[in-house]
Amino acid sequence: MAQSHKNKFSPPGISIWVTIFLWIEIAFGFVLGIPALFGSGLMETHTIGWDGRELGDGVGALVAAFLRDAAACLVIFLAGVFRELSDALEAFAEKPDNFVSAGGVSVFMFIGALCALASYCALRFNGIIRGSEI
């Protein structure tokens, strides 16, 4: 049985640091995505499609935050891990010595993977899934 949950902002079983990273994802999504709707992305290397993808990620993360659902958080964080992986591969494809960009992306990918693991553990802890179901 799930234990009582005292944090009003996080899904049951999710620690506050995971929720903080979720809100960082929301902020990045909206800050990068909304200007693209008006044709003026914040970074000259970003295309409208790239920034639109960021807005979609931000909206999805916002929905996960308001639902306060560990499964929704798991989906958002896993999507982010693969998004960041493709961004790192693209950074190296453009310039093989692009360690700064790929390094920053890798940090977000690693934190996202930890958050996905924490979301999965919250689902197991709350009895929503059992180990044999995946």
* Sole residue written with tokens 């964080």: 77
Alpha-carbon span 38 to 35, nearest angstrom: 5
Alpha-carbon span 59 to 65, nearest angstrom: 10
Is residue 5 assigned to a domain? no
| 53-66: pLDDT as tens digits | 888 899 999 999 99
Is residue 40 assigned to a domain? yes
Is residue 10 assigned to a domain? no
Q: Give mean pLDDT, residues 34-63.
A: 75
Is it the case that residue 98 has pLDDT exceeding 80?
no
Is residue 36 assigned to a domain? yes
Q: What is the dihedral of CA 85, 21, 57, 68, to 10 degrees?
A: 130
Is residue 1 assigned to a domain? no
Domain count, the chain: 1
Nearest to 72 by CA among 28, 21, 116: 116
Nearest to 120 by CA among 106, 130, 108, 110: 130
Q: Give mean pLDDT, residues 20-48.
A: 77
Confidence of residue 48 (pLDDT cuts 50, 70, 90): low
Of 31 and 99, more confident: 31
Tell me the residue range of the domain where 56 lies. 16-128
